[in-house]
């Protein structure tokens, strides 16, 4: 093979996590040869550009978990890197609002986790202070979280890609990994007739990470189940009802945060997303059920167990996703002035949510090593916030294997 096909590390997936792995490697080992491949014709075309754009504070995660640690580190770095590259980002702060007595203990637990995660400026406030910060929001108590904010994640990914190329990293788009074979000392990755050799292959394929792991011969406990997140936007005259970020207290049974309000870096206000089972992994509009994607989900033992456990709430999410009126009702619990007419259709994202064989939705980030390969098998939200820290964590593993 000629030199353009031989590398030390091949990263599959040019989303924020794959790009962050490459950046961390490039900056920690001089002379290292890295290629990042992605099947799309540009970087960050999936989760990294179809998300809420929120820099999460780290409030929600179990103290000591990878999510908690990497979110705290990553949050600081996202703000720093955005400032360095001139990418829009802002530490706007957010309110997590309890609207019912039954949510107060969960709100206290969030406060405890936030303090354990070292969040500064965390404050428990009452109805009058909620109105001072968000005059159109309502609730019986709230947690004020100053370190949360928003960032232009796709803009950051594009800058990272440009910087990587100036550092000599080969970023190859329109390169779709179709097979992985293990040679005596190297791994061969192919895209049809085109082949790349590398000492280490890092799988950051997001919604396809389980398939890439299977190509590498990894018998993982984990299967990706795609969950669609649909957003509405507030019309311009209703956008004034929201200053920054307004969240409900999440339902502890689910790894999703509930319908919330996000004032994004461009000033628009999004409502959502919901979480419904997706009929295809990477389709955003005019979705036609993908028989292969659906069949794989339904065939997995984990999904069948999940469906048994959450059947009723799963169905109610499906109803909400089709009914704007029900969606508005949900939003009105936090901001009562929202009406059906305040909402216009917004974006769509599809989450790569890992599910274990026993049907449990996997909560923490999962990164596994097998032979000469590393697999990022679960990196849902706050994966964008934590991406730079995840990249450094994976790069450390890769360096040990070179
Ligand atoms: C609706 C939604 C809302 C979210 N909100 C937030 C938020 O507010 N804050 C936050 O921190 N996080 C949020 N997240 C999570 C965050 O977006 C993800 O954790 C993060 O983007 C994951 O990055 P990634 O690089 O792993 O995946 P991706 O960005 O999906 O990248 C994976 C890449 O792999 C490529 N690929 C796949 N298969 C192949 C193959 N065979 N060959 C070559 N390339 C391949 C894909 O084309 C893709 O570019 C949200 C996610 C969603 C979906």
Query: What value does the mean pLDDT take over residues 105-134?
Result: 94
pLDDT for the residue 225: 87
User: Considering only CA atoms, which residue is closest to atom 13 of ligand 1?
Assistant: 381
Query: What value does the mean pLDDT take over residues 378-396?
Result: 97
State how far the Cα of 1 lies from the Cα of 346, in Å rounded to an integer. 47
Query: What value does the mean pLDDT take over residues 196-207?
Result: 98
pLDDT per position as a tens digit, 156-174: 999 999 999 999 999 999 9
Question: In testing the pocket of ligand 1, which one of 156, 205, 391 has its CB within 8 Å of the most ligand atoms?
Answer: 205
Q: Does residue 250 register a pLDDT over 90?
A: no
Question: In testing the pocket of ligand 1, which one of 49, 195, 206 has its CB within 8 Å of the most ligand atoms?
Answer: 206
Domain with residues 1-90+147-221+364-402, CATH architecture: 3-Layer(bba) Sandwich (3.50)
Ligand 1, closest atom to CA 13?
Answer: 34
User: For residue 44, how far is its CA from the centre of ligand 1 (angstroms)?
Assistant: 7
User: For residue 385, how far is its CA from the centre of ligand 1 (angstroms)?
Assistant: 11
The share of the chain scoring above pLDDT 70, in percent, equals: 91
State how far the Cα of 149 lies from the Cα of 199, in Å rounded to an integer. 38
User: For residue 126, how far is its CA from the centre of ligand 1 (angstroms)?
Assistant: 36
Q: Which residues contact 294 (CB under 8 A, 6 or more apart)?
A: 279, 280
Residue of 247, 263, 269 lying closest to 150 (CA atoms): 263
Ligand 1, closest atom to CA 385?
Answer: 11
User: For residue 138, how far is its CA from the centre of ligand 1 (angstroms)?
Assistant: 33
pLDDT per position as a tens digit, 301-327: 766 666 666 664 554 455 456 678 878
> Two tokens at 310?
């959450």
User: For residue 136, how far is its CA from the centre of ligand 1 (angstroms)?
Assistant: 33
The share of the chain scoring above pLDDT 90, in percent, equals: 74
pLDDT per position as a tens digit, 20-47: 999 999 999 999 999 999 999 999 999 9
CATH 3.30.70 fits 222-356, yes or no: no
Ligand 1, closest atom to CA 20?
Answer: 25
Ligand 1, closest atom to CA 18?
Answer: 25
State how far the Cα of 129 lies from the Cα of 336, in Å rounded to an integer. 17
pLDDT for the residue 316: 46
Q: Does residue 382 register a pLDDT over 80?
A: yes
State how far the Cα of 44 lies from the Cα of 362, in Å rounded to an integer. 23
Q: Does residue 273 register a pLDDT over 70?
A: yes
pLDDT for the residue 319: 47
User: For residue 3, how far is its CA from the centre of ligand 1 (angstroms)?
Assistant: 30
pLDDT for the residue 73: 95
User: For residue 226, how far is its CA from the centre of ligand 1 (angstroms)?
Assistant: 11
User: For residue 46, how far is its CA from the centre of ligand 1 (angstroms)?
Assistant: 5
DSSP string for residues in 215-281:
HTT---SEEEEEEEEEEEEE-HHHHTT-SSEEEEPP-TTSSS--SEEEE-TTS-EEEE---EE-SSS
Distances (CA, A) of 353 to 152, 157, 209, 376, 387: 22, 21, 10, 12, 16
pLDDT for the residue 255: 63
Query: What value does the mean pLDDT take over residues 346-354?
Result: 93
pLDDT for the residue 280: 81
Q: How confident is the model at residue 16 (pLDDT cuts 50, 70, 90)?
A: very high
- Ligand 1 cavity residues, CB under 6 Å: 12-18, 37-40, 44-48, 50-54, 56, 176-177, 204-208, 212, 229, 273, 349-351, 379-385
Ligand 1, closest atom to CA 175?
Answer: 43
Determine the straight-line distance between the first and last CA of the chain, rounded to whole angstroms: 20
State how far the Cα of 149 lies from the Cα of 134, in Å rounded to an integer. 15
Ligand 1, closest atom to CA 215?
Answer: 41
Q: What rounded mean pLDDT belongs to the chain?
A: 91
In the chain, domain spans:
1-90+147-221+364-402, 94-141, 222-356
User: For residue 215, how far is its CA from the centre of ligand 1 (angstroms)?
Assistant: 19
pLDDT per position as a tens digit, 276-307: 877 788 888 766 667 677 667 666 776 666 66
The residue among 325 and 57 whose pLDDT is bigger is 57
State how far the Cα of 46 lies from the Cα of 154, in Å rounded to an integer. 10
Q: What's the gap between Cα 179 and its chain centre?
A: 26
> Two tokens at 361?
């939705």
pLDDT for the residue 283: 81
> Among 48-52, 200-204, 249-253, where is mean pLDDT lowest?
249-253
pLDDT for the residue 177: 98
């Amino acid at each position: 093979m000629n030199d353009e096909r031989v590398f030390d590390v091949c990263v599959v997936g040019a989303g924020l996590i794959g790009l962050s792995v490459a950046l961390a490697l490039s900056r920690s080992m001089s002379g290292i040869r890295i290629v990042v491949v992605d099947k799309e014709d540009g970087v960050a075309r999936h989760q990294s550009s179809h998300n809420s754009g929120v820099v999460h504070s780290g409030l929600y995660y179990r103290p000591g978990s990878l999510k908690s640690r990497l979110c705290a580190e990553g949050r600081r770095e996202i703000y720093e890197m955005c400032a360095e590259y001139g990418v829009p980002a802002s530490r706007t702060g957010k309110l997590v609002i309890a609207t019912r007595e039954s949510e107060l203990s969960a709100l206290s637990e969030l406060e405890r986790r936030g303090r354990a995660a070292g969040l500064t400026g965390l404050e428990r406030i009452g109805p009058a202070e909620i109105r001072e910060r968000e005059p159109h929001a309502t609730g019986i108590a709230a947690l004020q979280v100053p370190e949360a904010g928003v960032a232009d994640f796709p803009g950051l990914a594009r800058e990272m890609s440009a910087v990587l190329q100036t550092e000599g990293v080969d970023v190859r788009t329109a390169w779709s990994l179709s097979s992985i074979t293990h040679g005596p000392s190297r791994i061969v990755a192919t895209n049809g007739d085109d082949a790349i050799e590398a000492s280490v292959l890092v799988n950051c394929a997001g919604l396809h990470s389980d398939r890439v792991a299977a190509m590498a011969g990894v018998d993982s406990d984990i299967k990706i189940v795609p969950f669609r997140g649909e957003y509405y936007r507030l019309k311009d005259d209703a956008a004034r009802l929201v200053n920054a970020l307004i969240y409900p207290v999440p339902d502890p049974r689910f790894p999703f945060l509930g319908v919330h309000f996000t004032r994004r870096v461009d000033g628009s206000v999004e409502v959502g997303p919901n979480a419904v089972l997706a009929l295809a992994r990477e389709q955003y509009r005019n979705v036609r059920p993908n028989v292969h994607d659906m069949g794989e989900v339904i065939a997995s033992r984990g999904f069948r167990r999940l469906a048994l456990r959450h059947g009723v709430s799963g169905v109610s999410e499906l109803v909400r996703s089709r009914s704007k009126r029900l969606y508005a009702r949900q939003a009105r619990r936090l901001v009562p002035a929202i009406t059906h007419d305040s909402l216009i259709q917004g974006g769509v994202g599809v989450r790569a949510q890992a599910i274990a064989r026993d049907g449990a939705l996997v909560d923490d980030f999962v990164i596994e090593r097998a032979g000469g390969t590393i697999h990022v098998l679960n990196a849902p939200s706050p994966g964008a916030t934590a991406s730079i820290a995840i990249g450094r964590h994976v790069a450390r593993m890769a360096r040990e294997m070179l």
